[in-house]
Amino acid sequence: MKENTKIYWKGLEQLTNAPEFVKNAGNEFGAPPPEENVEHSRRDFLKMMGFGMSAVALAACEAPIRKAIPYVNKPEEIDPSIANYYASTYINGGDYCSIVVKTREGRPIKVDGNPLSGVTKGGTSAQVEASVLSLYDNDRLRAPKAAGKNTKWEDLDQAVIAKLNEINATGGQIRIVSNSIISPSTVAVLEKFNAKYPTTQHIQYDQNSHYGILKANEESFGTAMIPSYDFSKAKTIVSIAADFLNSWVSPIEFTKQYALVRDAGEGQKEIARHYQFESNLSLTGANADYRAQIKPSEEGAVVVMLYNLIAGLAGKPTTEGGKDVKYLKAAAEELWKNRGNALVVAGSNDKSVQTLVNGINDMLGSYGTTILPGSPLNYRQGNDEKMNAFVEELAAGKVAGVIFYNCNPVYDHPAGDKIAAALKNVTLTLSTSYKEDETATSTSFLAPDHHYLESWNDAEPKKNFFSLGQPAITPIFKTRSAQESFLKWAGENNTDYFEFLKANWKARFFKGGNFQQFWDKCLYDGVYELPTESASVTFKGDVNAAVNAVASSYKSGSGYELVIYENGTVGNGSQANNPLLQELPEPITKAVWDHYVLISQKDAAKEGITNPESKTKLATITVNGKSVKVPVLIQPGLAQGVLAIAIGYGRTKAGKVADGIGANVYPFVSTVNGSLSYQAASVSFKIEEEAYQIAQTQTHHTYMGRQTVIREYTTEDLKTDPSLLTDRFSPQVATWLDEEHKVKPGELSLWKGHDYKNHHWGMAIDLNTCTGCAACVVACNVENNVALVGREEVINRREMHWLRIDRYYSSDAPVDDWKGLEEASDNPEVVFQPMLCQHCNNAPCETVCPVAATTHSTEGLNQMTYNRCIGTRYCANNCPYKVRRFNWFKYHDNKQFQTSNVAQTSDIGKMVLNPDVTVRSRGVMEKCSFCVQRIQNGKLQAKKERRELQDGEVVTACQTACSTGAITFGDMNDPNSKISKLLKLRPANPDRPYSIDKIAGNPRAYTVLEEIGVKPNIFYLSKIRNKESAKA
Amino acid sequence: MQVVSGVRDPLVTGGKTVHDVSHDISRHVENPPAKSWYLAMAVSLALLGYGLYCVFMVLWNGIGMWGLNKTVGWAWDITNFVWWVGIGHAGTLISAILLLFRQKWRMSINRAAEAMTIFAVICAATFPLIHMGRLWLGFYWALPLPNTFGSLWANFNSPLLWDVFAISTYFTVSLVFWYIGLIPDFAVIRDRALAQGNQLRATIYNALSFGWEGGAKTWMRYESVALILAGLSTPLVLSVHTIVSFDFATSIIPGWHTTIFPPYFVAGAIFSGFAMVLTLLLITRKVFKLEDYITIYHIELMNIIIIVTGSIVGIAYITELFISWYSGVEYEGYAFFNRVQGPYAWAYWSMMTCNVISPQLFWFKKIRTSLVATFVLSIIVNIGMWFERFVIIVTSIHRDYIPSSWTMFHPTMYDIGEYLFTFGLFFTAFFLFAKFFPVINMAEVKSIVKHNSEKVENKKVAESTHA
């Protein structure tokens, strides 16, 4: 068909295609008059106004959007909302723990113990649990610094290498100062550095020095080492001022072992007997069966006496001197009876005392059984003499370069002031601390190391026990592994510490095969362990010299004596800027956010000090011309004439959280016989007029003889009458039938009670194995995003802890003297009771809530629906256990909580929050949920895999953290679950196995406040003291 | 109308005529207020203003502004709530129960007493509202309203929900009762305003009186409604405080879990209510020169009620102590031991002195007919009753089962400020009432004023008795 080529046109302009026409072709109406701008018509104006108005209105309705950035490219190993776990190693100075790090979306949010470790066996401590928040510390260094200004790593390296070369050229002395280094690869790195700069010497010191043991062992056995101890083999444990459950040598490991021999089973199982001779009531002393109060100046004499008593029994020559104290003879006889299964430890850092202890243990045959010299520990290699010599050298200007490798001696060494002053005249001063701490502020270069959760590392805590540390997050700031820094400064070509570490492991441990497989296995397990070696030792210490040394160096002064101790919360102060630790109630004093000097009850009466409502006065303590001013707290159990004060406070450059709390008492530590001595024979103590209120979470200290709260028995009583366990306190209700017909409370009910057809969650807590260490409290805080409210709010008695550890002292008053029962004994027995929501089956909180915000689940959980809560607090009032916590303020938002609640108020801190747990807002009630998020996760996992939930799959955070296994959680409907077996649970009515009513057959099992019939799902196992009788 | 024995002393003295009644009461509404009124109003408004600031701070920042803590979840808030609710009871008792029992002496005091009830209940209601952590949700979530949350409903097991019903019912009935009583009196003011040519006032009071025209039929209906409402209110006098006491009695806290609470609380409520009525009326009587209407006889009768209820309360206290010992329950025993000897013993003994010992002084005729003594003792009784609630609430929970949680409670300025707020609210409302509403029920009082015809009768009776 022929194409139509006709063209139609509208006008001549179109036909000619004039440029003017083409320009305006699309514009039908031509140019508008100037007053009518088509681009913004009236309609548009109305539209925009309308949109604007509604947008503003809508925006006002919406909650502000917080940044949540999704992955653009999802990393293969990260699934949003699915947690990843990495085995790693906690290293902080000489403290170590093998751990498993839980990460969510690439952020470490929780640290658990690594059960594969042969050393810590899955145990942790409060400090290990809290360390995950130190990673997100706002006061960390963001970048390297030189002369107080941020710099680049390249520039810093250049400057440092130049200085090192300059020193090297002139033959100047270089020193690397650190705490004990337990990382074999780090030691290898330092050797490389040493090779490049041969004048380098490595000085190790420890805040809590154990140099006396090293030296004593050197004299006794020829090698300066600290042997492994095995408390789990001991039937009799005697400790002279060694706080082995809290701060002595390897507390995590010892706690685990100790629990094994303190597990009383069903009340008849034999448990180890523990004697403690000490001045201040330590966590260890609180767990002892017999505790005698001695003055620090008597420590040596008591050890001498014990030596003589044992020597007498062993038929060996005795020595002069010694001081007999209560229980010492009995302890000696028992040790001798159980020789081979006996263990004597002493906390003294004096080599002469430790030599005597070695002698005692040698006579008792402890070496090879409870003490294993074949597996020496590496935590405490600090050499006080070398450190003191270094300080002298430094002061004399003989040192040209000092590198402080992750240590802070300006703060935590007795000669800190001297070091700080001397550093001004040193050519090269450098700190690798990840914070600008007291030492780092005195150095010219800051080369911040990673936090341990950001870095590769390894550890050999004990000979032949290795543990790998792997990063769980990419470095948050511009920090660099200190080892890499050392390699760089040593001029190495390959400075990647990971490669170095891997190569080191390959060279040391790899025995052929596929290295990648070996490496992956090590990394997966987090630990690599070789068979332990046994070694026999012969004691050749000079006992007489030791006795003479003791006699000459232990003299009591005229005034008070002072004990300097490390407490269970901030410890040596290195993690003081961690609010989890500051707000953790100190296990014994229950004080938080405060530093204080402890005084005995008798001395307090003499000095006219009382502590009503934790109100007290300040006092000035002066030791060797140095004084501090701290509040005074009365401590039952502290020996008369003795004051006690903790290290770890008085930080000035730790950060916003810790700065200004308390006073630094490291300068009080003196050197005796070449090692640091944490006591002072004579101090001046002056009470000031200034009033002060200490923040304590518990202000009433006795349990008022209430057996329904605490049930405790002595082994002697149980031997004569085992039925005491069930019969001594057994509330019963008389019925209408007749006077003789009595039933247990809770058996009488109008209702049939419901059935839990699926699971019935419950918990058992063993009061005997619980040492009160409080690791579970920190774990609970971290897992459940519990707000930290700060000092003022704790004084207002509003701490938010879901799980608390009630610490009760015994009282001398008879049980019907209610006034007298309020006073604790002078040397009290102590019991720790973890207290959390009891998940009552007949929960009094549930019935009183007007809006049904707290309800019961079909699995026995008492649930709290934050969204529904209107905050009448009736539930908290009606809770007999007082475990409900109210959000008095907006803890996650209000400015006044920025210091304490860093995990919820700062952008970096928020990274630690557990995304599975809601952060509670103002005005709602909260409480323990039995880690319902973990239960849910376990159930979903089982459902996905189309199988039943297995016992042990769901563990609560507190249970995981508990080194002693005192907490058992599980399904009480499952007759084969651990909890059912432990408690010997059986349904009250055999026809209704899933009913709420379960009877515990274990005679030690009881529920708190049994007689009020709330039927808790938490059972406690009563406390058994291995004592002759209750009064002794 | 019933026959009143001529031998009785007249309830209204001074030979008042019906016109005198209208004039004496209405003139306070008609005349501009006195300087003292402005002064009192200024003080009340200042209290209210300061109180509002405290309320705002608590609502803005959180309940943490108060001194409450992990152990003591209620203190001044619920103490004040119970105290104010208790005070309200006297009004209802006077207007309802005394009406049913045909106690004519109630007629000169019931208006003010009922007004007091309403304002006291309003004050009381502020505390359960403000004390909620999330008032903005709680104020309607606590009601059983249909909602979009599925089957989510209020928890009918909770005594707090019962409180919601009890207080709201009580408030509604009291308000209606009071207002219906006011209608004929508003009409009197309207009529007088019309006579005086004040059109504005006439219009307002006409509207307030719902156009009352005073026909015999209307009066008949009016009296029937009054009786019906009296019948409805009577159980409320007993039920409201019974339910308030359930907040404590149904709990498991030693010192709260007490079966004696319902009668004990009701007696206490009437006790404190009459004390408050006395405090208010003694002032009103003086300021408004109503000595002829509210006579010493009225005051004496009220003082007798105070002795009776005060003694009931005293017996309740002693019973509690006895049972705590007799039951042999350790926690119950300790709770009361702690009240008597513990850190809050001063509060317990203040309560005992104010509530048990001081009203016994009214056994002396001289004291119970003395205006000054009555005024002082009425205030002491109210202080005592405040302490009673404080003692019950705080000393029971500050040391309950688990000794590790034992704490003390210390009020902050906001606890106190909230209490002052309700005083400001109460007195502002009461002074407005005193200025704009007739403070005495004119219609009823007129029915007991001696008429001229009765005077003759009286004479006869007097002669025959003397003969």
Q: Are residues A839 and A987 in the same domain?
A: yes
Say whether B69 and A890 touch across the interface (CB within 8 A).
no
Q: Are residues A718 and A683 in the same domain?
A: no
Does B398 contact chain A (CB < 8 Å)? no
How large is the C-alpha radius of gyration of chain A? 33
Of B64, B330, B397, nearest to A798 by CB-CB distance is B64
- Supply the pLDDT for residue A704: 93
User: Residues 365..384 of B with a Cβ closer than 8 Å to A: which?
Assistant: none
Per 3-state DSSP, chain B is made up of helix, strand and coil in percentages (nearest 5) of 75, 0, 25
Say whether A877 and B153 touch across the interface (CB within 8 A).
no
- Supply the pLDDT for residue A763: 96
Q: Locate the chain A residue with the closest alpha carbon to B65.
A: A888
In Å, how far is A576's CA from the nearest CA of chain B? 26
Which pLDDT band holds residue A829 (cuts at 50, 70, 90)? Answer: very high
Running DSSP on this structure, what letter comes out for residue A204? E
User: Residues 325..344 of B with a Cβ closer than 8 Å to A: which?
Assistant: 330, 334, 337-338, 341
Q: Find chain A residues with C-beta within 8 A of B330's C-beta.
A: 706
Q: Are residues A624 and A611 in the same domain?
A: yes
Give me the residue spans of the domains in chain B: 18-144+153-451
Task: Give CA separation, A271 vs A232, A267, A288, A580, A766, in Å.
Answer: 10, 9, 12, 34, 14
Q: Find chain B residues with C-beta within 8 A of A702's C-beta.
A: 403
A250 touches A226 (CB < 8 A) = no
The CATH number of whichever domain residue A674 belongs to comes to 2.40.40.20
Running DSSP on this structure, what letter comes out for residue B197? T
Give which of B81, B393, B401, B412 to mutate to test A binding, by max A Cβ within 10 Å.
B401
Residue reference for tokens 């944490």: A678
Say whether A793 and B330 touch across the interface (CB within 8 A).
no
The CATH number of whichever domain residue A446 belongs to comes to 3.40.50.740
Side-chain half-sphere exposure of A823, counting CA atoms within 13 A: 12
DSSP labels for A491-557? T-S---HHHHHHHHHHHHH--SS-HHHHHHHHHHHSEEEPPPPP--------HHHHHHHHHHH----
Residue B211 phi, psi dihedral angles, 5° rounding: 65, 35
Q: Is residue A138 part of a domain?
A: no
A467: β partners: A459, A527
Say whether B401 and A881 touch across the interface (CB within 8 A).
yes
The CATH number of whichever domain residue A265 belongs to comes to 3.40.228.10
pLDDT digits (tens, 9 = 90+) for A392-429: 999 999 999 999 999 999 999 999 999 999 999 899 99
Residue reference for tokens 């940044």: A67
Q: Which CB contacts under 8 angstroms, 24+ apart, belong to A263-270?
A: A263/A766, A263/A768, A263/A769, A264/A768, A264/A1004, A264/A1021, A264/A1024, A265/A1004, A266/A984, A266/A1002, A266/A1003, A266/A1004, A267/A713, A267/A718, A267/A722, A267/A725, A267/A1003, A267/A1004, A267/A1022, A267/A1024, A268/A718, A268/A722, A270/A235
- Supply the pLDDT for residue A804: 96
Q: What domain range is A959 assigned to?
A: 712-1025
Q: Are residues A685 and A744 in the same domain?
A: no
Distance CA A645, CA B366 (A): 67
Which pLDDT band holds residue A909 (cuts at 50, 70, 90)? Answer: very high
pLDDT digits (tens, 9 = 90+) for A692-712: 999 999 999 999 999 999 999
Q: Are residues A320 and A402 in the same domain?
A: no
Say whether A844 and B164 touch across the interface (CB within 8 A).
no
Of A708, A878, A889, nearest to B64 by CB-CB distance is A889
Q: Is residue B138 over pLDDT 70? A: yes
* Residue A404 three-state SS: strand
Q: What is the 3-state secondary structure (H, E, C) of A311-365?
A: HHHHCCCCCCCCCCCCCHHHHHHHHHHCCCCEEEEECCCCHHHHHHHHHHHHHCC
Which pLDDT band holds residue A322 (cuts at 50, 70, 90)? Answer: confident
Does B196 contact chain A (CB < 8 Å)? no
In Å, how far is B384's CA from the nearest CA of chain A? 24
What sign has the CA pseudo-torsion B188, B189, B194, B196?
positive
Q: Is residue B457 over pLDDT 70? A: no
Q: Is B337 exposed, middle or buried (0-12, 13-18, 19+ CB in 10 A)?
A: middle
Report which of A331, A345, A334, A211 is spatially closest to residue A284, judged by C-alpha positions. Answer: A345
Distance CA A802, CA A917 (A): 13
Distance CA A11, CA A945 (A): 79
Residue A177 phi, psi dihedral angles, 5° rounding: -110, 135
Say whether B251 and A850 touch across the interface (CB within 8 A).
no
Say whether B406 and A700 touch across the interface (CB within 8 A).
yes
Does B251 contact chain A (CB < 8 Å)? yes
Q: Are residues A362 and A386 in the same domain?
A: no
Side-chain half-sphere exposure of A249, counting CA atoms within 13 A: 27
Task: Give CA separation, A283 vs A253, A256, A280, B257, in Å.
Answer: 15, 14, 10, 39
Q: Are residues A966 and A845 in the same domain?
A: yes
User: Residues 42..71 of B with a Cβ closer than 8 Å to A: which?
Assistant: 61-64, 67-71
Which pLDDT band holds residue A253 (cuts at 50, 70, 90)? Answer: very high
Distance CA A181, CA A270 (A): 39
Q: Find chain B residues with C-beta within 8 A of A796's C-beta.
A: 64, 67, 69
Span A665-686, average pLDDT: 91
Distance CA A594, CA A23 (A): 82
Distance CA B37, CA B52 (A): 22
A162: β partners: none
Of the candidate ranges A62-66, A125-129, A1007-1011, B300-304, the one whose mean pLDDT is the lowest = A62-66
Q: Are residues A791 and A841 in the same domain?
A: yes
Which pLDDT band holds residue B292 (cuts at 50, 70, 90)? Answer: confident
Spell A561-576 as b/e; 16+ CB within 10 A means b: bbbbbbbbbbbbbbbb
Task: Give CA separation, A160 vs A150, A156, A163, in Å.
Answer: 15, 6, 5
In Å, how far is B142's CA from the nearest CA of chain A? 6
Q: Is residue A529 part of a domain?
A: no
Say whether A852 and B154 touch across the interface (CB within 8 A).
yes
Q: Locate the chain B residue with the closest alpha carbon to A852.
A: B155
Q: Are residues A442 and A506 in the same domain?
A: yes
A677: β partners: A670
Q: What is the ipTM of this complex?
A: 0.93
Q: Is residue B267 over pLDDT 90? A: yes
CATH fold, domain B18-144+153-451, is: Formate dehydrogenase/DMSO reductase fold (1.20.1630)
Q: Are residues A365 and A413 in the same domain?
A: no
pLDDT digits (tens, 9 = 90+) for B409-450: 999 999 999 999 999 999 999 999 999 999 999 988 888 876
Distance CA A316, CA A312 (A): 6
- Supply the pLDDT for residue A737: 80
Residues 6+ apart with CB under 8 A from B325: B333, B336
Say whether A887 and B62 touch across the interface (CB within 8 A).
yes
In Å, how far is B74's CA from the nearest CA of chain A? 7
Tokens read off for A539: 């004691």
Average pLDDT, chain A: 91
* Residue A804 three-state SS: strand
pLDDT digits (tens, 9 = 90+) for B211-224: 998 899 999 999 89
Q: Is residue A364 part of a domain?
A: yes
pLDDT digits (tens, 9 = 90+) for A18-63: 777 777 777 766 666 655 555 667 788 888 888 888 888 776 665 6
Say whether A870 and B341 touch across the interface (CB within 8 A).
no
Residue reference for tokens 């916003």: A656
Q: Is residue A644 over pLDDT 80? A: yes
Percent of chain A with pLDDT over 90: 80
Tokens read off for A19: 């440029």
Q: Which CB contacts under 8 angstroms, 24+ apart, belong to A412-417?
A: A412/A207, A412/A572, A412/A573, A412/A574, A412/A647, A412/A666, A413/A205, A413/A207, A413/A387, A413/A666, A414/A666, A414/A667, A414/A668, A414/A669, A414/A670, A414/A671, A414/A676, A415/A388, A415/A391, A416/A664, A416/A666, A416/A667, A417/A667
Distance CA A183, CA B356 (A): 76
Distance CA A405, CA A180 (A): 10
- Supply the pLDDT for residue A239: 96
What sign has the CA pseudo-torsion B138, B142, B148, B150?
positive
Say whether B160 and A850 touch across the interface (CB within 8 A).
yes
Q: Is residue A497 over pLDDT 90? A: yes
Q: Are residues A220 and A199 in the same domain?
A: no
Prediction pTM value: 0.91
Report which of A87, A89, A92, A88 is spatially closest to residue A181, judged by C-alpha positions. Answer: A92
A909 touches A902 (CB < 8 A) = yes
Q: Are residues A820 and A943 in the same domain?
A: yes
B115 touches A869 (CB < 8 A) = no
- Supply the pLDDT for residue B467: 44
Does B404 contact chain A (CB < 8 Å)? yes
How many domains in chain A?
A: 5
Q: Find chain A residues with C-beta within 8 A of B249's C-beta.
A: none
B261 touches B248 (CB < 8 A) = yes
- Supply the pLDDT for residue B1: 42
Alpha carbon A453 to its chain's center: 16
Q: What is the 3-state secondary structure (H, E, C) of B60-102?
A: HHCHHHCCCCCCCCCCHHHHHHHHHHHHHHHHHHHHHHHHHCC
Q: Is residue A547 part of a domain?
A: no
Q: Locate the chain B residue with the closest alpha carbon to A1008.
A: B402
Say whether A851 and B155 touch across the interface (CB within 8 A).
yes
Tokens read off for A576: 């003081």
Distance CA B381, CA B269 (A): 11
Which pLDDT band holds residue A743 (cuts at 50, 70, 90)? Answer: confident
Spell A200-238 as b/e; 16+ CB within 10 A means b: bebbbbbbbbbbbbbbbbebbbeebbbbbbbbebbbbbb
Residue reference for tokens 């007991």: B448
A-B Cβ pairs (cutoff 8 Å, strict): 171
Furthest CA-CA distance within chain B: 82
Which pLDDT band holds residue B459 (cuts at 50, 70, 90)? Answer: low
Q: Is residue A790 part of a domain?
A: yes
Q: Is residue A131 over pLDDT 70? A: yes
A178: β partners: A204, A405
Span A471-475, average pLDDT: 93
Distance CA B120, CA A329 (A): 73
Q: Is residue A464 part of a domain?
A: no
Distance CA A830, CA A297 (A): 25
Q: Is residue A966 part of a domain?
A: yes
Of B63, B141, B408, nearest to A851 by CB-CB distance is B141
Q: Find chain A residues with C-beta within 8 A of B161's C-beta.
A: 850
Distance CA B68, CA B78 (A): 12
Which pLDDT band holds residue A449 (cuts at 50, 70, 90)? Answer: very high
Give which of A750, A864, A872 to mutate to test B binding, by max B Cβ within 10 Å.
A872
Task: Give CA separation, A588 vs A145, A1007, B399, in Å.
Answer: 41, 24, 21
Which pLDDT band holds residue A67 (cuts at 50, 70, 90)? Answer: low
Give which of A792, A803, A873, A889 to mutate to test B binding, by max B Cβ within 10 Å.
A873
Q: Which of A377, A399, A419 is the last residue of a domain?
A: A377
Q: Locate the chain A residue with the closest alpha carbon to B156.
A: A850
